């Protein structure tokens, strides 16, 4: 990674399709049957919002931008106030979507039901590009995360990568489908697909870890400085500068897998901001992801627990 692309404070996360995550704790959930929830929580969500929440509270200022529906902003407003996140989100008519998570701890499963998002008018999309450009004057790390709502082109992340690189920013993309494919062509500094998203990007199945590692190396060699491929409970592959590592988390009790990938992005970004190398980035990112598995919503465990998890992460050279 060149000095010009080294991340610098502060951090801006961009969430084009924010959501309210409604999590229902449903022991023994069965499709097609009457199920009883024993607990319910509602938290501000969307991938970039989650990353901002995981990063907030440290020395680096964190700003969230993107789109929110003006009819149900209260849960987002509360998160931003509580975590000290700077709010530069644009409000649109209507409601932010609700994503329903049915968590069955007995069966160790999570069932997602994602509702449609807002429709973004062309003038609002242009307005957001102006906000992002303004934020690039004082921030040098941008995380572009999540799905693209109706009204926003598939080139959204690619366009932002190009514009932000022209301003000297370090840009992370965590997306899937056509928006990821277009963004990869613009060569962001870091991408974090999971194995399924990487296979979709390449248009071929990836059978086994060896094929995932080879594909991640190919992606890195195409001009992306850091490639992280999450493998669920098996950990994640980290590729940078010809070096590849496998980071495997310790066993943890799983309350919900929601936000674990976002926590990994936040952990890697946090480590980069502190000037850490690839192995420490892998440990921090994997510890963040493991730490959030035992919690509902975009929350990390206390610092002492995170330090314990970092020590317990097993890192292997590939």
Q: Which two tokens stand for residue 170?
A: 């370090």
Identify whether 189 is a catalytic site residue: no
Given 77, 159, 262, 280, which residue is catalytic? 262
Give Cα 268 to chain centroid, integer Å.
11
**Separation between Cα atoms, residue 245 and residue 243, nearest integer Å:** 7
Integer CA distances (angstroms), 152 to 12, 25, 119, 148, 168, in order: 19, 34, 8, 6, 24
**Separation between Cα atoms, residue 245 and residue 228, nearest integer Å:** 10
Task: From 298, 297, 234, 233, select the one nearest 267 (Cα to Cα).
Answer: 298
**Residue 115: CB atoms within 10 Å:** 13
Task: From 82, 11, 7, select the one nearest 44 (Cα to Cα).
Answer: 82
**Separation between Cα atoms, residue 52 and residue 246, nearest integer Å:** 25
Task: From 42, 65, 41, 45, select the one nearest 54 (Cα to Cα).
Answer: 45
Q: Give the helix/strand (H/E) hosting 24.
A: strand 19-25
**Separation between Cα atoms, residue 303 and residue 71, nearest integer Å:** 35
Helix axes 156-166, 122-135, angle to 10 degrees: 30
**Residue 122: CB atoms within 10 Å:** 10
* Residue positions annotated with a catalytic role: 262
């Amino acid at each position: 990674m060149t000095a010009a692309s080294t991340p610098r404070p502060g951090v801006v996360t961009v969430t084009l399709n924010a959501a309210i995550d409604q999590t229902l704790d449903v022991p023994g959930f069965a499709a097609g049957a009457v199920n009883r929830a024993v607990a319910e929580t509602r938290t501000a969500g969307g991938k970039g919002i989650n990353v901002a929440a995981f990063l907030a509270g440290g020395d680096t200022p964190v700003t969230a931008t993107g789109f929110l529906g003006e009819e149900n902003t209260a849960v987002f407003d509360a998160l931003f106030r509580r975590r000290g996140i700077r709010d530069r989100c644009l409000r649109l008519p209507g409601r932010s979507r609700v994503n329903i998570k049915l968590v069955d701890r007995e069966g160790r499963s999570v069932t997602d039901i994602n509702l449609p998002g807002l429709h973004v008018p062309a003038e609002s999309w242009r307005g957001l590009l102006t906000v992002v450009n303004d934020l690039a004057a004082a921030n040098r790390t941008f995380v572009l995360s999540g799905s693209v709502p109706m009204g926003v082109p598939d080139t959204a992340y690619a366009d932002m990568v190009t514009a932000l690189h022209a301003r000297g920013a370090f840009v992370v993309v965590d997306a899937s489908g056509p928006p990821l494919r277009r963004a990869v062509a613009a060569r962001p500094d870091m991408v974090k697909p999971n194995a399924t998203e990487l296979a979709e990007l390449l248009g071929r199945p990836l059978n086994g870890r060896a094929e995932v590692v080879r594909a991640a190396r190919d992606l890195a060699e195409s001009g992306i400085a850091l490639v992280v491929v999450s493998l669920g409970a098996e950990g994640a592959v980290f590729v940078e500068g010809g070096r590849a590592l496998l980071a495997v988390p310790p066993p943890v009790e799983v309350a919900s897998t929601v936000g674990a990938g976002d926590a990994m992005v936040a952990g890697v970004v946090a480590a980069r901001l502190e000037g850490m190398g690839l192995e420490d980035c892998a440990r921090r990112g994997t510890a963040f992801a493991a730490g959030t598995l035992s919690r509902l919503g975009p929350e990390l465990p206390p610092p002492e627990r995170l330090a314990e998890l970092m020590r317990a992460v097993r890192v292997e050279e590939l």
